[in-house]
Structure 1
């Protein structure tokens, strides 16, 4: 990635774009906890008639079908197919899948560290978990997992349980993956070593300078609010006056954690989010009520097409109350609330029971047709094809869904959170050679070898000195290229030159994490983000926008009535 000034256009190579197919998954959805499900509604007689018919068919199959059948599998399949006729986020997990899915938000597990979803009988990587073995190996959002240890993982019949079984396992064991990636014709092969996957959700928290603090939140799990509040408290003690909150690639999680975070930043008694559904007992309003840790001082929130659900609740509340400047690209657009319902055999139904609305009254749920989840899942591909990831003018607003922030600024519903300042996806430094280095773990393996060989020398200096002065030399780059050649990656001088800034930054970041960050128990990967962020065009643009963020906080909205950004 390259660093750009506001006046310089960002060039993009669409043929090698790393297109994130960030699908909204119910295990990372805005979850409404603690409600009682059963209530009045359609006549119970009608439901009883339908269920009796299903039981009758199942009994005939069990007793009279020519071959032996597994009726439990048939029931699971029937439920899943039935739910496909509803919205894209209502789903069913059998008991094994439900236990595995809950662990993503509630407790750690051993595995390769990816969130995934299944669409069109294909396993898509939603996001590699920060600091996990898949991220380190170079697995990317949107990658399609075709084979695991030479076992096919695509085609009719692929299930969540099958994926969990193949990807999880004892730490230290190796998993061979065959991956398809947008922009590349050939499959890529990865060797990933399983490890303990923690549930930390605040990936980074550090002071950029004497006033600006940066916090990266990757999901909204059980511990997210406590982690966030602790990070905010530490930054305040270090002189925090301006905050960058990075929600890019955050697929969501517990709604309550998002609203608690909003309450730390929004003063007074203000509406943060409300939900409405067919059953009014599920309707609720959440308001700010505590004296927050950082209620004064400019805030910039970073979002992109991977920011979904609880991320959008938080960003929407901050935008509607003119509390934060939103920077990046339009968020995912997931505004449906699922209630987890544990069934008698420990399986779980995640049923959409309501829609949530931001304080201004907008639903950010993007359009969908009942029973057409396949079309819905292609939305982010359509954004790429339409040019929206590169050009603010390509964002399609629903002019019938116009709302106003507290200060009278125009915002739109029906399709995610639109940023106040648009920053395009930057793919200038991407190349096939870079992807091949990722696929065969060349950058990671070289960086770890270098770190081990030079550990005593490196440890003598504090990380801040390393950050300021260490350079990945041409000699080091030459050694890395030799490793790549030995691994069967054909040297390509032109593509190496193109991707050099990324290779250099990744190498330095991995060395920094290994030498200074590996002993931390907090889950923070500050070393990585402090190296990588200066090469990130969205982050760099945010640093330039604190003047506008300060105007917003002061109630000056004159320059903030429309989406700003590079055209």
Structure 2
């Protein structure tokens, strides 16, 4: 098997940065000074020091880099969510949160030394021109893109540009062994934040939200309306792995579930000013039952949604304790394309609880990566191991106890499936294998119909055996990993051949939280008329 390295789409490639940079944000008025420091004497001191270093220091120093590091060090002394965004990263992060970018509409990776199209965005410039998954882009506007060790940033810069500008590309289509020329007209490409929605049963719908960007509410409403037309009475809202985003967008989504004048969330700043957000009368799912799925990676705006519904006795929160981010950031520009996201207030759920987990200036990476600690103390496998603080106990209008102090504790706990981790070790290797398989069988696989694929994929186990044959010593493969390897094979074939919606439908076929939801559906105590 070739040792090709798969690169995720732009929005996935930025996921780690998003987990650190994005948070709940409000439209606060900008500080009139526009400077990082309020005192003119402090500003002068910093500027003077930089000038001394730039002109008088014995060695040549990159003062821009030095200043960037200084700003980071200052923010590190505050809280884990006050962060510096360099000018080089600002536009990419902004695009992700805007929910769109201007480009040619492909997702790609480097296969060996060739820029290879993994997926084509439906109805985008490349799709309309006739580019297909598997095409190798060799040249773009006379710039050779093969036979080089190219960085992702360079490729993205080459293919992106101003809207309505054109780029000429030459591609090699492997399964036809032919060279083709295309002229692509750059256009606005959506970055979906609602990658999947479908009906789980005749009356139970499913919507997955993976971030709260500018376009998320509109995407959510499209999904909600489509499922209601299919007779959806109850909804599973999947917020697992969702790091958050815009607070205002989360509020709009919550408003679809809560009756008029129900408190959604409130914030409090340093001066004690409180801003409250209330539901309006426009909600389209106020009478419907909702299950919210959360896990240890659900953060910020995801926790606002779960907390607002839980505190208003709306629906059932299913899963594991969420991340625990209760701080609100405002983005402030620094004048050179860079910016800081500064924590300016705390948010509180309707009962008055803060769900911010403890932190200090020494927390560092452990603040973001406490999954191992949660596993070691047993809370990922046993709900009774979740520690709650009695002094932070709050009571909902219907008498349910809820707790502050670090994340949203679910109403119904679902353990991680420890055996699944054996299979997850194969995920990257399976991605490589699936692409190579599809790439070598495109004339066959392009004719696979979705329904037939869902029902009959690899029923004889031939593809599974081909993958397992890549391992010299199969005795080292954990027996419990095989069902998950089969699942990942099918899901990644779905992603390569179809789209994210089919990918999630496959991944959810044996999902433990969805199994729990279906159990709850059978219990009258959780069914709301």
Alignment TM-score, normalising by the size of structure 2: 0.77
Distance 2:94 2:293 in 1: 27
Contact 1:277 1:354 survives alignment (8 Å): yes
Give, in angstroms, the shift of residue 534 of structure 1: 1.8
| Distance verdict in 2 for CA 1:34–1:542, change over 3 Å | same
Distance 1:373 1:224 in 2: 31
Matches within 5 A, 1:286-301: 286-301=277-292
Give 1:74's match in structure 2, choosing from 66, 75, 95: 66
Distance 1:37 1:553 in 2: 47
Give 1:455's match in structure 2, choosing from 445, 469, 475: 445
Unaligned runs of 5+ in 1: 1-20, 115-130, 137-148, 152-162, 174-195, 519-524, 555-567
Give, in angstroms, the shift of residue 368 of structure 1: 1.0
Say if 2:520 is the partner of 1:545: yes
Give 2:435's match in structure 1, choosing from 440, 445, 459: 445
State the aligned residue count.
450
The worse-fitting range, judged by mean Cα deviation, of 29-38 and 349-358 is 29-38
Give, in angstroms, the shift of residue 494 of structure 1: 5.6
Q: Deviations over 1:39-79 (max 9, x none)?
A: 9xxx96xx333333323322222222101222222221111
Say if 2:385 is the partner of 1:379: no
RMSD, matched Cα: 3.4
Distance 1:30 1:205 in 2: 24
Contact 1:97 1:164 survives alignment (8 Å): no
Give, in angstroms, the shift of residue 500 of structure 1: 2.0
Distance 1:167 1:279 in 2: 47
Distance 2:334 2:521 in 1: 49
**Higher RCO structure (Cα 8 Å, ≥6 apart):** 1
Q: Residue 51 of structure 2 aligns to a residue in which SS? A: helix
In the alignment, which residue of structure 1 is the partner of 2:31?
37
Say if 2:481 is the partner of 1:467: no
Give, in angstroms, the shift of residue 450 of structure 1: 7.6
Contact 2:353 2:403 survives alignment (8 Å): yes
| Distance verdict in 2 for CA 1:421–1:199, change over 3 Å | same
Runs of 4+ in structure 1 off by over 4 angstroms are 21-24, 109-114, 163-173, 547-550
| Distance verdict in 2 for CA 1:505–1:271, change over 3 Å | same
In the alignment, which residue of structure 2 is the partner of 1:49?
41
Give, in angstroms, the shift of residue 388 of structure 1: 1.4
Say if 2:269 is the partner of 1:277: yes
Contact 1:86 1:371 survives alignment (8 Å): no
| Distance verdict in 2 for CA 1:169–1:493, change over 3 Å | farther
Distance 1:327 1:442 in 2: 33
Contact 2:197 2:223 survives alignment (8 Å): yes
| Distance verdict in 2 for CA 1:466–1:150, change over 3 Å | closer
Matches within 5 A, 1:329-368: 329-368=320-359
Give, in angstroms, the shift of residue 251 of structure 1: 0.3
Distance 1:36 1:63 in 2: 34
Q: Residue 56 of structure 1 aligns to a residue in which SS? A: helix
Contact 2:18 2:93 survives alignment (8 Å): no
Contact 1:398 1:412 survives alignment (8 Å): yes
Matches within 5 A, 1:234-245: 234-245=226-237
Distance 1:227 1:91 in 2: 29
| Distance verdict in 2 for CA 1:352–1:457, change over 3 Å | closer
Say if 2:466 is the partner of 1:479: yes
Matches within 5 A, 1:147-186: 165=153
